[in-house]
Structure 1
Amino acid sequence: MAILTLGLNHNTAPILIRERLVFPAERLKSALLDLIQLPHIGEAAILSTCNRTELYCGIETDDQDVLINWIAQEQRLHREDFQPYLYFHTDAETIRHMFRVACGLDSMILGEPQILGQMKSAYQVAAEAGTLGKTLSKLFQHTFTAAKKVRTDTAIGSSPVSVAFAAVRLAQRIFDDLSEQTAILIGAGETIELTARHLTESKIGHLIIANRTYDKAHALATQFNGFAISLAELPKHLAWADIVVSSTASQLPILGKGGVESALKARKHKPVFMVDLAVPRDIEPEVAQLRDVYLYTVDDLRNTIEENLKSRREAAKKAEEIIDTEVEHFLGWLRAQGATSTIRDFRDHADQLRAEALARARQALRCGKSPEEALDFLANLLTNKLIHIPSVQIKQAGIHERHDLIAAARELFQLKDSS
């Protein structure tokens, strides 16, 4: 059975196509149960994110059409709408691809950590649906092991490479424990949403979303168990903020030096960490002059991000070497599975010979043989039975000049050269 990957991602397909192939979480289990019913499909899992949709299958054919047609039917599309954007991997290529995806080497942001959690979720759903077999289950487990090794042995994920992530990482350096801090995020766009996500994952104590449109602030705050306010209410809440991150489309500053100074007095000059990710700036530059404010702009973070990207690219080279080794390990496991049935049959044959020899030895004891005689009889009988067929086959190999079989026998039985 081959291991196959069929999918598309941010490198091969525009968002217009990617969003049409997404499998919503609530439909994923039923899709898997439907997929596993296709001819020649023995195992299946689906990874579906905003940046990629991939099918992982244990399949008894290399015909892609059965999967392409299934996707078209499942997503109500014409195959020509998405087929040009697909990629296809089998066996060793699939193993390498899954390892690279889990390590963030195939991500839009090199080394990003979220994809590993998404792969674990894909594995969990497939396991609960009962669509994983021995091979895919083992491959997912090895994938997680490889990803952990890459994360441990390289710096692929240690340096932030998005402004939102960089802002949160910087906050973690300034505050030892974010669970005791309050963050105010100004705006409700993609950058603020990403910042809220990172802060939530970092166990922020309290989260307040401020936006010109209250409904948007409320929708975002609800998503992250936060609290929404309008921009007009910001001055009343600013004194509570240990962390302020702003990213709006305002043409004028939202926070001025005077307002921040008032908040600092109310805080008894407890330090505030501020990040202005907006262009034009949301926070007046003069705020940086205040003694208890640590203000960073998007340019400050971008310099760090570029340095970190360089660091990640260097780490990616080492990660690829680790993946090469892990792929070989898994291929070794796969090759060993091909010998499993032979080993089982050989053991069954040996067990049968043992049972027959033991029965005859017991019969000898019942007929009056001494225990010592019965043991000698058992040992000789069992030895003759075990070596009879191999001896005949080796002799026939010599007659027919099958030197390869004779050499294999010497290796198999670890025979020393008597000459």
Structure 2
Amino acid sequence: MALVTLGINHRTAPVELRERVAFTPEHMADAFAELRAASGATEAAILSTCNRTELYLAGDDDCAPSVLRWLAGFHELDSSELEQSLYVYRDAEAVRHVMRVAAGLDSMVLGEPQILGQLKDAYALARENNASGAFLSRMFEQAFSVAKRVRTQTAIGENPVSVAYAAVSMAHHIFADMSRNRALLIGAGKTIELVARHLADAGVQDFLVANRTLERAQTLAGRHGGKGILLSEIPEYLTDVDIVISSTASPLPILGKGAVERALKKRKHRPYFMVDIAVPRDIEPEVASLDDVYLYTVDDLRQVIEENIRSREGAAREAENLVDSGVQDFLNQLRALDAVSTLKQFRQRAEVLRDVETEKALRTLRNGGDPETVLRSLARGLTNKLLHEPSVQVRKATTEGRPEVTKWLRELHQLDVLEADEPTTPEKI
């Protein structure tokens, strides 16, 4: 079984490309069906976040070229444009990559915990679409186990720093005393929940949460004494907020340049701090050209995140060792499964030969054959049948210059041990 991991992330592709390759929830079912048909893979999973889009595939052949063509076509991109930012891992390296992703070692924020939940969601979605089979299931379960060990056995998760935390940290560059500022959070997912928590810790007391579903917006806002509104109400409240942080799964921008321009006219040059964590982006890029607007994307948070990476390098080395161990355990499991399959075939073949020889002996006995002669003939025939094909293959391997086959035969049947156990006689000397 061949395993391929293929994708782009924050290191290989800018946000402009990542948002074009992102998969929206409503397109996932079609994506799974098309992906498996186009690639020939028997199993598939898709991970799509603000920082990465990755495809995990298992099949009989290397499907990377066909997957690249499909991925470009699905998102209406030129294959050559996508190929420049694409990475491909195969077999053991593909397993290693998945485990590093699960452990937060491949994240923009080293050790961030959100990616593990996102990977679990991707696995669950693949199962819901009947796209994940025994091979990928085993790989994901092993990756989750390794990630858990990394969290519990290293300090990589201490004082967690996430993209949400980095966004709030950058707000301090604009507003010294954030207790005076009102925040508008667009979305109500896990990332926005983290943003709200970090803003509250930074002193922000006045929250608005805008979401497509009012109930979810009210629930999240209520935890911090804020107010929930609908996305359509954003222009009405935009004038009175100072901080805007957005993270939704919308395929189209939610906040446009025109709405911000109109709000700015009423604010009398009071600045906006905006962070667009979403991919595809929620805030039109043209908003950044407006005076008194400080708009950052997820890529602009890199400086804060790099400081986090330096502080966690020691823990990361320990985590990499745990990943190496996890990869080896997974490969050992696969080899054991392969051995079980081979041994099963070997036993079945031996049993067929046994049944043929036994039936032949029984016919001879029924026809009045001498039992001792029949028994000796049965033993001789069964021995010849069992040893014929291995003998042919060993002679062939020796002729072809592959002495290791003979070595394995001696080890398999412990011939050296048996010879050492035989008593030494004068005749043998």
For the aligned pair, the TM-score class normalised by the smaller chain equals: 0.5 to 0.7
Contact 1:353 1:382 in 2 (8 A): no
Residues 414, 152 of structure 1: CA spacing in aligned structure 2 closer, same or farther, 3 A cutoff? farther
- Structure 1 stretch 339-348 or stretch 65-74: which is displaced more? 339-348
Conserved 8 A contact 1:159-1:312: no
C-alpha separation between the residues in 2 aligned to 1:355 and 1:57? 42
1:17 and 2:12 matched? no
When residues 195 and 187 of structure 1 are mapped into structure 2, their CA distance, relative to the original with a 3 A threshold, is: farther
Counterparts of 2:139 and 2:223, CA distance in 1: 47
- Residues in 1 aligned to 2:193 and 2:83: alpha-carbon distance in whole angstroms: 33
Picking from 189, 198, 210, the partner of 2:194 is 198
Q: Which runs of 5+ in 2 are unaligned?
A: 169-180, 228-240, 244-270, 274-304, 421-429
Q: What is the deviation of 1:365?
A: 9.5
Residues 223 and 80 of structure 1: is their aligned pair in 2 closer, same or farther, counting only changes over 3 Å?
A: farther
Instruction: Extract unaligned runs of 5+ from structure 1.
Output: 169-184, 234-247, 251-277, 281-304
Q: 1:20 to 1:387 in 2, by over 3 A?
A: same
Distance of aligned partners of 1:388 and 1:232 in 2 relative to their CA distance in 1, 3 Å threshold: closer
Give the counterpart of 1:187 among 180, 183, 195. Answer: 183
Report the secondary structure of 1:188's partner residue: strand
For the 8 Å contact 2:210–2:217, the answer to whether it is kept is no
Answer yes or no: is 1:79 the counterpart of 2:76. Answer: no
| Counterpart secondary structure, 1:11 | coil
Superposition map of 1:362-401 within 5 A: 381=378, 385=382, 388-390=385-387, 393-394=390-391, 397=394
Cα drift, residue 335 of structure 1? 4.0
Residues 403 and 41 (structure 1), Cα distance of their counterparts in 2 relative to 1, 3 Å cut? closer
Tell me the distance in 2 between the aligned counterparts of 1:118 and 1:136: 16
1:7 aligns with 2:7: yes
Moved more, 332-341 or 396-405: 396-405
How far apart are 1:411 and its partner, in Å?
A: 1.2
Q: Match for residue 314 of structure 2? A: 314
* SS of residue matched to 2:216: helix
Distance 2:38 2:104 in 1: 31
Structure 1 contact 7–87 (Cα < 8 Å) conserved: yes
Give yes or no for contact 2:109–2:306 (8 Å, CA) kept in 1: no
The alpha-carbon distance between structure 1 residues 33 and 152, as it changes in their structure 2 partners (threshold 3 A), is same
2:219 is matched with which residue?
Answer: 225
Residue 107 (structure 1) shift: 0.6
- Distance in structure 2 (CA, Å) of the matches to 1:162 and 1:391: 64
**CA deviation map 1:141-188 (0-9, x unaligned):** 22112212222221222322249669x9xxxxxxxxxxxxxxxx9522
CA distance in 2, matches of 1:229, 1:339: 55
Aligned to 2:419: 418
Is the Cα–Cα contact under 8 Å of residues 221 and 227 in structure 1 kept in the other structure? no
Q: Go from structure 1 to structure 2 and tell me whether the alpha carbon gap of 1:201 and 1:339 turns closer, same or farther (over 3 Å shift).
A: farther
The one-letter code of the counterpart of 1:138 is: R
The alpha carbon displacement at 1:216 in A equals 4.5
* One-letter identity of the residue aligned with 2:419: S
Paired residue secondary structure (1:8)? strand
What is the identity, as a one-letter code, of the residue corresponding to 1:223? A
Q: Which amino acid aligns with 1:418?
A: E
Contact 2:110 2:308 in 1 (8 A): no
- Flag the 1:308–1:191 CA change in 2: closer, same or farther, 3 A: farther
Q: Hey, what does 2:128 align to over in structure 1?
A: 128
CA distance change for structure 1 residues 86 and 413 in 2, over 3 Å: closer, same or farther? same
Deviation at 1:225, TM superposition (A): 1.5
Cα deviation, 1:112-136, whole Å, max 9, x if unaligned, reads 1111111111111112212223322
Instruction: Look up the equivalent residue of 1:16 and give its one-letter code.
Output: E
Aligned length: 329
Query: RMSD across aligned C-alpha pairs, in angstroms?
Result: 4.8
Answer yes or no: is the 8 Å Cα contact 1:160–1:308 preserved in 2. no
Secondary structure at the aligned position of 2:38 is classed as coil
Q: Structure 2: which amino acid aligns with 1:225? A: T
Taking the aligned partners of 1:7 and 1:15, their CA distance within structure 2 comes to 14
CA distance in 1, matches of 2:100, 2:182: 36
On the 8 A contact 1:217/1:229 being kept in 2, the answer is no
Counterpart position of 1:210: 206
- Alpha-carbon distance, 1:249 to partner: 3.5
What is aligned with 1:407?
407
Report the AA paired with residue 385 of structure 1.
L
SS of equivalent residue, structure 1 residue 132: coil
TM-aligned CA deviation for residue 80 of structure 1:
4.0
Identity %: 38
Whole-Å separation in 2 of the counterparts to 1:124 and 1:130: 10
Indicate yes or no: 2:105 matched with 1:142.
Answer: no
SS at 1:20 equivalent: helix
**Distance in 2, Cα, partners of 1:101 & 1:128:** 22
- 1:345 maps to 345
